[in-house]
Amino acid sequence: MGAQTFMSRAVGKTAREAFDAAVAEAQYDYGHRGYTGTIVEKDSFRMIDVPDGESPSEFACRLMDEDDERIRDKCGPAGCVEVGKTGEEREFLFLVGL
């Protein structure tokens, strides 16, 4: 499988905890061997702040639609947008556009 655009949603107390959960889920779903074209191949992420007045989910979709340079590098970090919070758990979207 080649490089692909993807968006992974995950929850955790921190972005790192959510990222690790997203990677673990993708490993379970797509395997541990070879290139899966998923978040499994990412070892880091970069936080991207949502502009004031914009919905986090809509902003994440806009990053994908506009092929934003902050999420475009297939070998670089995934983009990370915080989309919500419930109690101690926070919800994040991890993005890679190609």
Q: What is the pLDDT of residue 82?
A: 96
Q: What are phi and psi of 17, to 5 degrees?
A: -65, -40
pTM above 0.85, yes or no: yes
Q: What is the pLDDT of residue 1?
A: 43
Report whether pLDDT(89) > 50. Answer: yes
Distance separating alpha carbons of residues 89 and 96, to the nearest angstrom: 23
- Over residues 12-39, the pLDDT tens digits come to 999 999 999 999 998 888 777 667 778 8
- Over residues 48-84, the pLDDT tens digits come to 999 999 999 999 999 999 989 999 887 889 999 999 9
